[in-house]
């Protein structure tokens, strides 16, 4: 299944039916008078957040949607039927934005959330409403009003409690496959993860949380290097960020865990100060391929920044339980009531290279 997280669609709600200008001329109905019924209302277009969906793929190959028109009124006081509403289902976490000016119209961050994105037109009144003592045979009827027509952009922000950050090949995909049933591609070359992945982490005592893995960031992502900031929206709703660094032969010259840490946080700040200010748990991965004195050196370097650097091996599973418990302590103590809540720590990122809250 392809992962599609942004689409543009054109919507046309149903027009209202026209009112009827008719008169009754039947046997045993003396002076029947006006009998034109009202037109029916046009159908509206409603977007509904469906927890069973995880992508906007359904809207990739069809971009125009229209609801039913209301029926016209008829003779004998018959009102036209209203058009059926058109219900479009989207994944939970879908944002609806106006394509004209980018204004946010609605954020469907809860399962079952609904938003009327285009309202149907109102049916016109028939001539039965225009009869007066001085106008016993009105020939006036109203036309129906047109339904709303608009173009909107749908952007999906996945809902997760924890977001995974780091350079390509630091072991994010291996980590999420170790702690959950998510199965992203794992290989020894950069950018093996091309789309976000969600996994459910199950702890003891029926505790669980959702973790999101996004494609790796590199220096210059704000200017479009690598995959740029294309997928960072998927960790904007996360309450805690898990920042993975490593220091093996795969990192390349001029790089170190501390260097990678600073670069990634600079890119986060360039994207969103709110995202850069979220609490982080920083983890040094692949310790099974490092000497113990090298691990100690890196921990001291981070300690000088006030960061408690945890150590793991995603390949062997060493140290992972401690990381999960640290993440759970952040989530359980968080004042946010849901993964979609904004972090109160955004004001702490005062400038582009501000050091985030880390433990």
CA 248, distance to chain mean position in Å, is 35
> Which CATH number is 1-156's, of 2.70.210.12, 3.40.50.300, 3.90.650.10, 3.40.309.10?
2.70.210.12
Is a pLDDT exceeding 90 seen at residue 11? yes
DSSP for 131-175 reads -BTTBSS----PPPPPPPEEEEEEEE----SEEEE-STTSSHHHH
Return mean pLDDT, the chain. 80
Mean pLDDT of 284-300: 87
Which tens digits make up the pLDDT trace of 13-41?
999 999 999 888 777 776 778 888 999 99
Helix (H) or strand (E) holding 269: helix 257-271
Residue 105 main-chain phi, psi, to 5 deg: -90, -40
Q: What separation in angstroms does the CA of 25 have from each of 29, 31, 53, 68?
A: 7, 8, 56, 32
Confidence of residue 135 (pLDDT cuts 50, 70, 90): confident
Confidence of residue 289 (pLDDT cuts 50, 70, 90): confident
Reported in sequence order, the residue ranges of the chain that DSSP labels E, i.e. its strands, are 6-12, 45-50, 64-66, 86-91, 94-98, 104-108, 114-118, 149-156, 162-165, 197-202, 208-213, 240-246, 280-285, 310-311
Angle at which helix 292-303 crosses helix 257-271, to 10 degrees, equals: 40
Confidence of residue 43 (pLDDT cuts 50, 70, 90): very high
Domain boundaries, the chain: 1-156, 162-348
Q: How far apart are alpha carbons 359 and 351 in whole angstroms?
A: 20
In the chain, the percentage of residues whose pLDDT exceeds 70 is 81
- Of 248 and 240, the one with more pLDDT: 240
Token couple for 24: 């009754």
Residue 301 main-chain phi, psi, to 5 deg: -60, -40
Is a pLDDT exceeding 90 seen at residue 124? yes
Query: Residue 317: left if φ>0, alpha if ψ -120 to 50, beta else—which one?
Result: left
Helix (H) or strand (E) holding 294: helix 292-303
Q: What number does CATH give the domain 162-348?
A: 3.40.50.300
Q: How far apart are alpha carbons 156 and 96 in whole angstroms?
A: 9
Q: Which of 18-32, 41-55, 68-82, 141-155 has the lowest mean pLDDT?
A: 18-32
Mean pLDDT of 313-336: 82
**pLDDT given at position 195:** 61
In the chain, the percentage of residues whose pLDDT exceeds 90 is 25
Is a pLDDT exceeding 80 seen at residue 120? yes
- Of 273 and 72, the one with more pLDDT: 72
Residues 180-185: contacts with CB under 8 Å, at least 24 apart = 180/211, 182/213, 184/213
At 18 the three-state DSSP class reads coil
Confidence of residue 339 (pLDDT cuts 50, 70, 90): very low
- Of 84 and 185, the one with more pLDDT: 84
With tokens 């018959």, the residue in question is 78
With tokens 């106008």, the residue in question is 135
Residues in the chain: 359
Mean pLDDT of 188-193: 42
Mean pLDDT of 206-218: 75
With tokens 């039965």, the residue in question is 128
- Of 200 and 302, the one with more pLDDT: 302
**293: number of Cβ within 10 Å:** 7
Helix (H) or strand (E) holding 213: strand 208-213
């Amino acid at each position: 299944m392809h992962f599609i997280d942004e689409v543009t669609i054109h919507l046309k709600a149903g027009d209202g039916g026209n009112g009827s200008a008719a008169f009754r001329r039947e046997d045993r109905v003396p002076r029947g008078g006006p009998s034109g019924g009202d037109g029916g209302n046009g159908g509206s277009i409603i977007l509904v957040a469906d927890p069973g969906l995880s992508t906007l793929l359904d809207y990739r190959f069809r971009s125009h949607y229209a609801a039913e028109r209301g029926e016209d009124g008829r003779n004998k006081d018959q009102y036209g039927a209203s058009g059926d509403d058109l219900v479009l289902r989207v994944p939970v976490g879908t944002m609806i934005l106006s394509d004209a000016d980018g204004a946010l119209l609605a954020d469907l961050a809860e399962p079952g959330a609904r938003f009327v994105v285009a309202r149907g037109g109102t049916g016109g009144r028939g001539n039965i409403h225009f009869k007066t003592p001085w106008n016993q045979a009105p020939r006036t009827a109203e036309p129906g009003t047109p339904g709303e027509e608009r173009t909107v952009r749908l952007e999906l922000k996945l809902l997760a409690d924890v977001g995974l950050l780091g350079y390509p090949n630091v072991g994010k995909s291996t980590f999420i496959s170790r702690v959950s049933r998510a199965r992203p591609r794992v290989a020894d070359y950069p950018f093996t993860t091309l789309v976000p992945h969600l996994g459910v982490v199950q702890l003891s005592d029926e505790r669980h949380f959702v973790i999101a893995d996004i494609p790796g960031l590199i220096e210059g992502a704000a200017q479009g290097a690598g995959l740029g900031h294309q997928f960072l929206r998927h960790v904007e709703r996360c309450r805690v960020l898990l920042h993975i660094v490593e220091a093996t032969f795969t990192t390349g010259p001029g790089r170190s865990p501390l260097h990678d840490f600073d670069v990634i946080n600079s890119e986060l700040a360039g994207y969103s100060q709110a995202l850069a200010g979220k609490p982080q748990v920083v983890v040094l991965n692949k310790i099974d391929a490092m000497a113990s004195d090298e691990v100690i050196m890196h921990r001291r370097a981070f300690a000088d920044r006030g960061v408690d650097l945890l150590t793991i091996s995603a390949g062997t599973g060493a140290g992972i339980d401690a990381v999960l418990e640290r993440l759970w302590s952040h989530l359980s103590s968080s004042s946010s009531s849901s993964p979609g809540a904004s972090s109160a720590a955004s004001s702490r990122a005062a400038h582009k290279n501000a050091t985030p809250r880390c433990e």
